[in-house]
Amino acid sequence: MSTSHSFENPAFSGASDENLPDQKKSPYYLASPGSSHSSKMSTRSLYCAALTGIIVFALGLGLGFLIGYFAYKAPGEGTSATGNSASNSATMNGATTPSGSTRPPTTQSTRPPTSACNGVCKEELKCPQSAPITQSESSSSRGIFEMVTASEMEEVYEFMVQQGLVDQRPSSGSPSLQNTYIYSISLYLPNKDEAISHLDEGLASPGRYADVHVHRGNRNVADIMEYRVGPLGGAMTATALYNDGELPYNSRPRDGIEWDGITEQVTLAMSILRPLLMESFDGAYYPEGGMTFHPQAPPGLLPEERETRFVMALLVDGTARGRDLHPLPLTGTVRNPGTDKSQWYSYNFYYLNQGPFRTAEELLEAFQNGTIRKFAMPRGHRQTLFETTFPKQDGNKPRDMSNKAPPRTYEPAGRRYTVHDHTVKWMDWEFTVFGSQLRGPGVMNVQFKGERIVYENSLNDVGLIYASDVSSGANTVYMDATFGLGEWQNVIIGVDCPEHATLLDAAWWNMGAQRSVSAKAICIFEMDGQEAIWRRKDRFAAGLRNTYLVARFPMSVGNYDYTIDFRFYLDGRMQSTGMASGFIQASFWDQGNPHAGNDKTTDPFGYRVSEYTHGALHDHTFGFKVDLDILGKKNKFEVIHWKAGNVLDALKTQNNNITLKPPYYLYNETRFVEWETLATEAGLKLSYANPKIWTVVNEEHKNKWGVPRGYRIAPMSAYGQVVPDSHPAMGALSFTKYQCAVTKRKEDERFITGSYDQNRMANPTGSLERMLDGENIVNEDLITWVSVGFIHVPTSEDVPMTARVETGFWLKPWNYFDTTAVFDVPQYVDTMDHSITERPPAPTDCYQPVKENCYFCN
């Protein structure tokens, strides 16, 4: 529908002179014979009339162009995604675009530009509205895998206060270390047998319970405790999961309350060292003088220990963690066990790796006496930090055409999936997204075409081991679940997820405020892969465009940002990925370090990556718990060995009685596969030299061709841990040794690591190595603990931001279906004789309004 008018010249419109008034049948007014006017015009008059007509025509033509230009460039252009099926067919040789396709070009649309429409017109051209997310009315009606909501967390807190299990939150400020307070709240997953009976047989629900971690500082002997609290929405009870004192207080996760006590000790020490600070670090001092500190981990190897190493760093305006790029060569240790902060103190100071000095006074004396090597930043260095650290566009070097809007995706038919609470259905897939405040995200009860394939696929931990030639970073190890992989924040729309994504809530417990926090932290969307999931050009041209569904969890954990994806494909494949970005945690680059290389750009632990910044090498290992249920819980794990050898070796794997090589083999070398069923629990490693395929199968259920149905576990990389077992961290981080470990499922082996093992690595409460205790795993309910990662040797391209580094694994059908499992959706098919022609649904001609994204706007 258009409101523009048409102006036509009769000479070009096909209009007949007979239909015009008499005086306009001729381009000039000519007097009829017998009139008092001459029948001919003078040459001068004719010339003037012609010139006037030309001028009027030119003015009209120019004015028309101007009107058309400004109508087309009306305000709001570029703020909508439009599509037109006719123009798409023209530009794609007949191929049509399914939901989630790249936005079609608006300039080829046969309809008027949406910017020229009035409000009614725009409303008519909007893409179809999707059905809203539906939600349960009460806690008792929610699905058994639904995350604990913010309101439910408040109910748990009030219940525990009433039971005397935690203290009332203070009217202002945070609790103290002498209080008993909640550290985290997450869903306590139900007993699997009870859950399956409820889901498959309609038996009573096992209920939903909260997993509540509590710091108990008001006891005679302080400790930490976990409670199972629930059922949510019912008459709640609290069950302690450990004995009193079983979890020593000093093995607790670090929190903001402890941080405040550490800050007091660092402040005292730095006030003594202020002359050293100002002389060495461009006039900076601590506190409130352009300097800060960073506590590192672990705080001890045994649960009875508690010592926090810290490194001083320069502040960067506008950032909280820009400091990680600007550490200083000044470190110390705070001894901070127990709840009595008056007994804490700082000691063991290093300056340019010189030390340890028992006290800050001893270090200052050595500095002032000139008995140690000194360092001084040039004046004005701190004024350069924002420009080199804050991740903004370099306006001096704009990239050609970067001011044009890039491609975007849209949903021409609205969403092709539905969401109820956190349960998603798409193209015969159904699953529930969930997350834990400590452990991070996962998906539960994953079904395809009505059959459960995965009971649980969840991130459990991320392990990092650093190496660097500095007095702090030389011994740094992180287990990120300790710090909270699920302290959710709102996603960044347009960066984390496309504008048309559906956002879901996730809640966590804020320890400092003793209140729940809810965020739009999960995004669900259908993705256009812009590629073929299959194709064939033969005597026909055919294929299927690859579209898939994504459940995405972006997370900020310290200096790094992780994005965890669970992706679901039309052919029954699933992909789980972990992506890392953000600030690297660097160490100080000491130009005078005697351990550096001759050219002073490298040392044994990496590169110089900025003025005073060394990129400390480290790794990231993502540990997942993957509970595959292939047509039931009784499964077995098969290893398929990809081998090479002579022909008889190959044939004897099936029939040992064969003695002669058949004559049709022209040469005696071949490749073949050999099957191995794992009989007992085992940890497995990938090797490029000895390829293996890992499968979980159900030998009681076979496909049409008599082959046991199953799924393959396929890591996206073969990265392996090189740290030896003798390293102090490897007891707690034993999962990093294997790409896959297979165990018999047990309810008390809930996670790949212990919740408190960051702070007791030499005596961990949970260790994958301990789970591998030789139990039978043939036709049992199996857990596959999948570990995938990457090594990170930071380079100058990691400053100021590490561009995405990704790893993950696939779960792929392995004889699970009788044929390729995509031919129940429309394909693209053309035959030479046009006897068979198929097309996916054509997109509608519509637009989706795109609003400017502003993260911190109300």
Q: Of 295-309, 587-601, 799-813, where does mean pLDDT reach its minimum?
A: 587-601
Range of the domain at 273: 256-389
Does residue 637 share a domain with residue 582? yes
pLDDT band per the 50, 70, 90 thresholds, residue 849: confident
Instruction: Report the Cα 432 to chain-centroid distance in Å.
Output: 17
Does residue 658 share a domain with residue 770? yes
Q: What is the reported pLDDT for 127?
A: 86
Residue 241 has pLDDT above 90, yes or no: yes
Cite the active site residues. Answer: 480, 560
pTM: 0.86
Q: What is the reported pLDDT for 24?
A: 35
Residue where a domain terminates, one of 197, 214, 245: 245
Does residue 526 share a domain with residue 472? yes
Give the mean pLDDT of 478-496.
96
Longest dimension (CA), the chain: 128
Q: What is the reported pLDDT for 122?
A: 64
Residue 85 has pLDDT above 60, yes or no: no
Each residue's pLDDT tens digit, 694-719:
999 999 999 999 999 999 999 998 88
Q: What is the reported pLDDT for 44?
A: 53
DSSP single-letter state for residue 177 = T
Q: Whole-number mean pLDDT of the chain?
A: 88
Does residue 294 share a domain with residue 228? no
Give the mean pLDDT of 589-597.
85
Residue 634 has pLDDT above 80, yes or no: yes
Domain of 304: which CATH number? Answer: 3.10.450.40
Whether 412 is in a domain gets the answer: no
AA identity, residue 614: H
Q: What is the reported pLDDT for 844?
A: 82
Q: What is the reported pLDDT for 83?
A: 40
Report for 368-382, 593-607, 837-851: range of highest mean pLDDT:
368-382
Q: Identify whether the C-beta of residue 314 lies closer than 8 Å to the C-beta of residue 326.
A: yes
Domain of 437: which CATH number? Answer: 2.70.98.20
Give the mean pLDDT of 372-396.
94
Does residue 337 share a domain with residue 207? no
Q: What is the reported pLDDT for 344?
A: 98
Does residue 454 share a domain with residue 553? yes
Does residue 425 share a domain with residue 355? no
Does residue 655 share a domain with residue 551? yes
Side-chain half-sphere exposure of 229, counting CA atoms within 13 A: 27
Q: Identify whether the C-beta of residue 545 lies closer than 8 Å to the C-beta of residue 532.
A: yes
Q: Of 60-74, 192-206, 631-645, where does mean pLDDT reach its minimum?
A: 60-74
Residue 33 has pLDDT above 90, yes or no: no
The tally of domains found in the chain comes to 3
Q: What is the reported pLDDT for 851?
A: 74
pLDDT band per the 50, 70, 90 thresholds, residue 27: very low
Whether 3 is in a domain gets the answer: no
Residue 791 CA to residue 787 CA, distance in Å, equals 13
Q: Identify whether the C-beta of residue 193 lies closer than 8 Å to the C-beta of residue 220.
A: no
Which residues, including other chains, have CB under 8 Å from residue 500's CB and lie 6 or more apart? 409, 410, 411, 525, 848
Q: What is the reported pLDDT for 123?
A: 67
Which comes out higher in pLDDT, residue 851 or 825? 825
Q: What is the reported pLDDT for 56?
A: 55
Whether 122 is in a domain gets the answer: no
Whether 95 is in a domain gets the answer: no
Which comes out higher in pLDDT, residue 314 or 47? 314
Q: Pick from 391, 501, 395, 486: which is nearest to 853 by CA?
A: 501
Does residue 231 share a domain with residue 156? yes
Residue where a domain terminates, one of 798, 814, 830: 814
* Strand stretches in 358-450, DSSP E: 417-420, 423-426, 429-436, 440-448
pLDDT band per the 50, 70, 90 thresholds, residue 126: confident
Residue 618 has pLDDT above 80, yes or no: yes
Q: Pick from 106, 177, 88, 293: which is nearest to 850 by CA?
A: 106
Tell me whether the omega of the peptide bond preceding residue 253 falls within 30 degrees of 0, making it cis. Answer: no
Q: What is the reported pLDDT for 397?
A: 82
Residue where a domain terminates, one of 389, 407, 441: 389
Residue 524 has pLDDT above 70, yes or no: yes
Whether 194 is in a domain gets the answer: yes
| Number of continuous H segments (helices) and E segments (strands) in the chain | 12, 37
Give the burial string for 651-690 (b: 16+ CB within 10 Å, else e). beeeeeeeeeeeeeeeeeebeeeeeeebeebbbbebeeee
* Strand stretches in 647-690, DSSP E: 669-677, 682-684
Give the mean pLDDT of 729-750.
96
Does residue 648 share a domain with residue 594? yes
Does residue 299 share a domain with residue 269? yes
Whether 699 is in a domain gets the answer: yes
Does residue 232 share a domain with residue 285? no
Q: What is the reported pLDDT for 503?
A: 96
Each residue's pLDDT tens digit, 153-198:
999 999 999 999 999 999 888 999 999 999 999 999 999 999 999 9
Whether 705 is in a domain gets the answer: yes
Each residue's pLDDT tens digit, 403-451:
999 988 889 999 999 999 999 999 999 999 999 999 999 999 999 999 9
Whether 90 is in a domain gets the answer: no
H or E stretch at 12: helix 10-13
Going 813 to 818 to 820 to 822, the CA torsion angle's sign is: negative
Q: Pick from 211, 134, 147, 33: which is nearest to 507 by CA?
A: 147
Which residues, including other chains, have CB under 8 Å from residue 759's CB and lie 6 or more apart? 250, 251, 252, 253, 254, 297, 298, 299, 300, 303, 306, 482
Give the mean pLDDT of 542-550.
97
Residue 82 has pLDDT above 80, yes or no: no
AA identity, residue 673: V
